Structure 1
Amino acid sequence: MRAPVVPPVRVALARTVGTLPRDPGRLAYEPKFDGHRMVLFRGAGDEVALQARSSRLVTAAFPDLAAAALALPEGTVLDGEVVVWTGGRTDFAAVQGRAAATPGRAPALARRLPASYAAFDVLAADGVDLRPRPYARRRERLVDLLDALGPPLQAVPMTTDPDTARDWFDTLPGIGVEGLVVKRLDEAYKGGARAWRKLRHTDTRDAVVVGFTGPAQRPAALVLVLPDDDTPVVSSPLTPPLRARAGAVLRTLPAGEGGTATAVGLGEVAYRSVPPALEVEVAQGTTRHTVTTVLRLKEGGGGGG
């Protein structure tokens, strides 16, 4: 792939804050969509690669976005969020279903659950690595690249007005916006660093169940995928009532071979995989490591099919 930035790349990250940062003339605010982080690479000819946050290539799972990326100039690299809209709001379970699709099932899922790409940064354009440039310059180039294209590739909204950002924060949760990302206008793109800031509406998040440990009838813990990160995480041990409720759903789903994932305090543990048909609400707290606690099962199934 002939481009100044090639996969895999380390993505820029955000640290959580409790209040809206205000620094007139220095900050940019963007809505944070409830989706899957993805870096899009437009190479030479008909080359396109799609990379998840974990560095895994997921090009085959999103043939609709790969086809749309061909409209971009060669040598373009974008960072953004994949979302699927159902019923007028983003549907994270549907995104996870798309991401988990085999190459054989991906085209049919793309027709049934078309994906959109909400781009919030440009890492390269015109054969030039733009990561060292300030965000304000990168934002201008991003808008130039995408304004003429339209869906499914679009730039996320951005404002430098904190009052407008507060209005977004207060009014957009109903469509699946989980909060705001705040960036300094003069800052370079810092892969792997938590230089951005993220303000969420609550301390809880939705997650999709992709596996379990223990018996399906009474699982000891759930293996989850959270928005913005495709790496499975193992929940803390379930309470007895949650084990019973989760087991009632899990025993109706076909269990696959699974794999291993990291559990806090235990290291790598084996799990059985299931289709992304169950959503849960979780809380995340940190001691030395991030602990993910399942609070409740959500009604209804996922959109992944």
Structure 2
Amino acid sequence: MHLSPPVEPMLARSVTTLPRAGSRPPLFEQKADGYRTLVFARPTPYIQSRRGADLGPAFPEVVRAAAALGVEAVLDAELVVWSEHGLDFSALQRRARRRGATAEHAARQEPAYLIVFDLLEVAGTVLLDEPLHRRRAALEDLFTSRRLAAPWALCPQTSDRETALSWLDPAWGTAGVEGVMIKDPGSRYRPGERGWQKLRTRTTAEGIIGAVTGTVHAPKSLLFGRLDPAGRLQLIARSTPLSRPASAELGVALRPAGQEHPWYGRRFSAGWGASEPLIFQTVVPDLVAEIDVDTAVDLGTYRHPVRFLRLRDDMTSGEV
């Protein structure tokens, strides 16, 4: 029996705290900032995205690595691109659009790597029903016996809670580790189910409130900006839905803006990767907010919605 693409990857649900050890201590893994990928190492390899698309044409060096593995296997991994400053999600996105000769050139200039954290099949044996700790042992044995090196990398894993807590330091976030995965060592691999947990690294930042969804006097969410070196207001984030008290507080403080607003007539998408436009109302960009953010940032823009914490009356927009 063999697994055939597409296979739905096992997923995770977000949590807000790192669990403490119970009768069966959890396993913790670093969550890298990349593309979730299933690698079918076959005579004809297949590199599957989370949603089932073929990533092979964009990452020919990964296809070659899968073909040269030396054993038929299916591996669950995070596909990443490394730059001198850490994992580079923007470079990964650029690479995903390349094909043919330009993809080969990009593979030489910005090579991709596979941070592998699970083994679903090896040498004709499907491991989905094996507990995680046995799948991990088989994965480590594969790395050792095949002497795997770049582009292969084994995802760090620990049962030590203090080590996992250290991975939540924002310094790791700057390098591209956006949080911690939390897994039951006795769990089987359940495709498509949210059987794991994930805890994202959080920190705080400041943003200028430049627009709202809903109405100015009863905002539903906020659009934040920062000033670029030329003094222009650039969109950096959108907030999660506001609580009723926050909406009431902001509805009193915000003022509607006119055509002089730098975002007047601009078009923003309704979500990351979405094509439909976002309906918003501009406001006078003179209020600064403290926001709760994670470390997934693309060219200064937060990829995930941020959370409004409070107004910063001690800061002016010119300081942001």
TM-score (norm: length of structure 2): 0.66
After superposition, give the CA deviation of every residue in 1:51-109 in whole Å (9 maximum; x if it has no partner).
00010011111011111122323320001101111123101011111112123311011
Query: What is the Cα deviation at residue 49 of structure 1?
Result: 0.6
Does residue 105 (structure 1) correspond to residue 126 (structure 2)? The answer is: no
Query: What is the Cα deviation at residue 223 of structure 1?
Result: 5.7
Query: What is the Cα deviation at residue 146 of structure 1?
Result: 2.0
Match of 1:246 in 2: none
Does residue 49 (structure 1) correspond to residue 46 (structure 2)? The answer is: yes
Summarize the alignment of residues 27-42 of structure 1 with structure 2, pairs less than 5 Å apart.
Answer: 27-42=26-41
Query: What is the Cα deviation at residue 21 of structure 1?
Result: 1.3
Moved more, 122-131 or 139-148: 139-148
Query: What is the Cα deviation at residue 174 of structure 1?
Result: 2.7
Secondary structure of the equivalent of 1:107? helix
Partners of 2:86 and 2:45 lie apart in 1 by 28
Match of 1:224 in 2: 272
Partners of 1:239 and 1:281 lie apart in 2 by 20
Does residue 184 (structure 1) correspond to residue 184 (structure 2)? The answer is: yes
Which stretches of structure 1, 4 residues or longer, exceed 4 Å deviation after superposition?
232-236
Partners of 1:53 and 1:239 lie apart in 2 by 35
User: 1:107/1:222 Cα in 2 relative to 1: closer, same or farther (>3 Å)?
Assistant: farther
Q: Give unpaired runs (5+ residues) of structure 1.
A: 210-216, 226-231, 242-276, 286-305
Match of 2:141 in 1: 144
After superposition, give the CA deviation of every residue in 1:227-248 in whole Å (9 maximum; x if it has no partner).
xxxxx5757445548xxxxxxx
C-alpha RMSD over aligned residues:
2.8
Does residue 59 (structure 1) correspond to residue 17 (structure 2)? The answer is: no
Partners of 2:52 and 2:79 lie apart in 1 by 15
Partners of 1:162 and 1:192 lie apart in 2 by 27
Partners of 1:136 and 1:233 lie apart in 2 by 41
Percent sequence identity is 35
Partners of 2:49 and 2:121 lie apart in 1 by 17
Partners of 1:223 and 1:105 lie apart in 2 by 29
Which residue identity lines up with residue 128 of structure 2 in the other structure?
R
Partners of 2:113 and 2:202 lie apart in 1 by 25
Summarize the alignment of residues 83-232 of structure 1 with structure 2, pairs less than 5 Å apart.
Answer: 83-147=80-144, 148-170=147-169, 171-202=171-202, 218-221=266-269, 224-225=272-273, 232=274
User: 1:238/1:155 Cα in 2 relative to 1: closer, same or farther (>3 Å)?
Assistant: farther
Does the 8 Å CA contact 1:27/1:160 hold for their aligned counterparts? yes
Partners of 1:196 and 1:180 lie apart in 2 by 11
Which residue identity lines up with residue 31 of structure 2 in the other structure?
K
Does the 8 Å CA contact 1:182/1:198 hold for their aligned counterparts? yes
Moved more, 134-143 or 65-74: 65-74
Highest Rg: 1 or 2? 2
Secondary structure of the equivalent of 2:197? strand
Match of 2:230 in 1: none
Match of 1:280 in 2: 301
User: 1:48/1:238 Cα in 2 relative to 1: closer, same or farther (>3 Å)?
Assistant: farther
Query: What is the Cα deviation at residue 113 of structure 1?
Result: 0.5
Secondary structure of the equivalent of 2:13? strand
User: 1:237/1:178 Cα in 2 relative to 1: closer, same or farther (>3 Å)?
Assistant: farther
After superposition, give the CA deviation of every residue in 1:120-174 in whole Å (9 maximum; x if it has no partner).
1111001011011100000011111124111111110000111111122225223
Secondary structure of the equivalent of 2:106? helix
Secondary structure of the equivalent of 2:101? coil
Does residue 19 (structure 1) correspond to residue 41 (structure 2)? The answer is: no
Partners of 2:164 and 2:201 lie apart in 1 by 13
Moved more, 144-153 or 52-61: 144-153
Partners of 2:179 and 2:84 lie apart in 1 by 20
Query: What is the Cα deviation at residue 284 of structure 1?
Result: 3.4
Moved more, 109-118 or 96-105: 96-105
Q: Give unpaired runs (5+ residues) of structure 2.
A: 205-234, 236-264, 284-297, 307-320
Does the 8 Å CA contact 1:5/1:129 hold for their aligned counterparts? yes
Does the 8 Å CA contact 1:10/1:191 hold for their aligned counterparts? yes
Secondary structure of the equivalent of 1:65? helix
